[in-house]
Structures are given as structure tokens and as C-alpha cells.
Amino acid sequence: MCRYHLKLRSLAIVMIGLGLLAAAGLEVWAVARAQGPNPQPIAVGFSSSSYTVGEGDGTVTLTVTLSEASSGTVTVDYSTSDVTAVSEPSDAADYVMSVGQLVFQPGQTSKTIVITLIDDTCCEGNETFVVNLANAVGANLGSPSTATVTLLDDDSCP
Ligand SMILES: [Ca+2]
Ligand SMILES: [Ca+2]
């Protein structure tokens, strides 16, 4: 009789334990539901899809931002690519090719890329090149991930 009673007691304890687990699970579910769908992942992208500078301005500065501060480090690679403007070692280079990596320390949300321009004396019209972002780590590649730089020609044609 006594043994049977003990078994009943341990069964009751197990049942209470299961009940508590179920309650905890329900609470986790309710909290997750209250928070809605998964929070939007952090995105990294240019602040603008186009930048316009005079070819004699010396440099162009592009800004890359995070959609929100991250608690971890975020890195993203960047590289320039010719369109109608060309980079060195071309004799008629309009800008200096630039490849690198931006590192956002935790809490940082903005970084700049500075590209050196090469002024010429050619009457050539406005020219463009692009800067691409790639290989984002710690964030998703956002939009725009490509920025177009337009170099305004400052030479008068004969
Ligand atoms: Ca010029
Ligand atoms: Ca020119």
C-alpha cells in the first residue's frame, strides 16, 4: 500500500513537472508571437545609388550605412569598376581603382569610401564608374549595393 502511494506521488510530481514545462513552452510561444515575425535582419548598403562630382574635385566620398547598429562586427568588401570612366593604368585614367573592406565595429552605422579622381584636360563629356559592395558578413547586403559615380567634365571643347 505504501509503495503504491509512493508511486502515485512520483507520478503526480512528473505530471506537475510536465504541466510546468507546457506552461513555459506556451509562454515562450506567446512572447515570440507578441514580437511578430522575426525582426528584420540588419542590411548594409550605400546611402545613395548615385554620386556626382566634378572631375577636378580631387576625391569622391561615398557613404555606406547599416540599417541599424549591430552588437557584432559587420564587414563588407567594396571594389570599383569602369563604365565609361577608366581607372589606372590607362593613360587616360579618370580615377584610381579602389578595392578594400569596410569594418563596422559594434555600434557603428556609417563608413565612407574615398576614391581619388584624376583630372585631365580632355574634352570628353561626363563619365561614370560604379562601386560595388559584396561579401557582407554580420549583415545582409542591402539596397543599393551598387553606386554610380558621375564625373562632370570641366574642359571646354575647342
Ligand atoms: Ca579636366
Ligand atoms: Ca575632362
At 71, which CATH number? Answer: 2.60.40.2030
Task: Compute the distance from residue 57 Cα to the ligand 2 centre, in Å.
Answer: 12
**Grid cell locating 81:** 569598376
Predicted local distance difference test score (pLDDT) of residue 101: 98
pLDDT for residue 35 is more than 60: no
Q: Which residues pair with 149 in a beta bridge?
A: 51, 129
Residues 93, 71 share a domain:
yes
Residue 158 lies in a domain: no
pLDDT for residue 2 is more than 60: no
Tell me the residue range of the domain where 2 lies.
1-39
Predicted local distance difference test score (pLDDT) of residue 103: 98
Residues 89, 18 share a domain:
no
Task: Compute the distance from residue 142 Cα to the ligand 2 centre, in Å.
Answer: 33
pLDDT for residue 7 is more than 80: no
The continuous run of DSSP H or E covering 16 comes out as: helix 2-34
- Which of 128, 131, 147 has the alpha carbon at shortest distance from 77? 131
Residue 118 lies in a domain: yes
**Grid cell locating 94:** 579618370
Residues 142, 70 share a domain:
yes
Phi, psi of 40 (to 5 degrees): -60, 130
Residues 54, 7 share a domain:
no
Residue 116 one-letter amino acid: T
- Which of 64, 144, 60 has the alpha carbon at shortest distance from 110? 64
Inter-residue contact 27 to 35 (CB < 8 Å): no
Residues 135, 109 share a domain:
yes
Residue 157 lies in a domain: no
Phi, psi of 104 (to 5 degrees): -95, 110
Residue 31 one-letter amino acid: V
Residue 14 lies in a domain: yes
Inter-residue contact 42 to 66 (CB < 8 Å): yes
Please tell me the total count of domains within the chain.
2
Residues 50, 32 share a domain:
no
Residues 129, 92 share a domain:
yes
Residue 114 lies in a domain: yes
Measure the CA dihedral 112/116/119/123, to 10°: -60
Q: Length of the chain in residues, anyone? A: 158
Give the model's confidence band at 22: pLDDT under 50 very low, under 70 low, under 90 confident, else very high.
low
- Residue keyed to cell 579618370: 94
- For ion ligand 2, residues whose CB falls within 5 Å: 120, 122, 124, 153, 155
- Give 99-144 pLDDT, tens digit per residue: 999 999 999 999 999 999 999 888 889 999 999 999 999 999 999 9
Residues 25, 103 share a domain:
no
Residues 72, 6 share a domain:
no
Residue, of 23 and 1, whose pLDDT is higher: 23
Task: Compute the distance from residue 147 Cα to the ligand 1 centre, in Å.
Answer: 22
Residues 109, 135 share a domain:
yes
- Give 56-108 pLDDT, tens digit per residue: 999 999 999 999 999 999 999 999 999 999 998 777 899 999 999 999 999 99
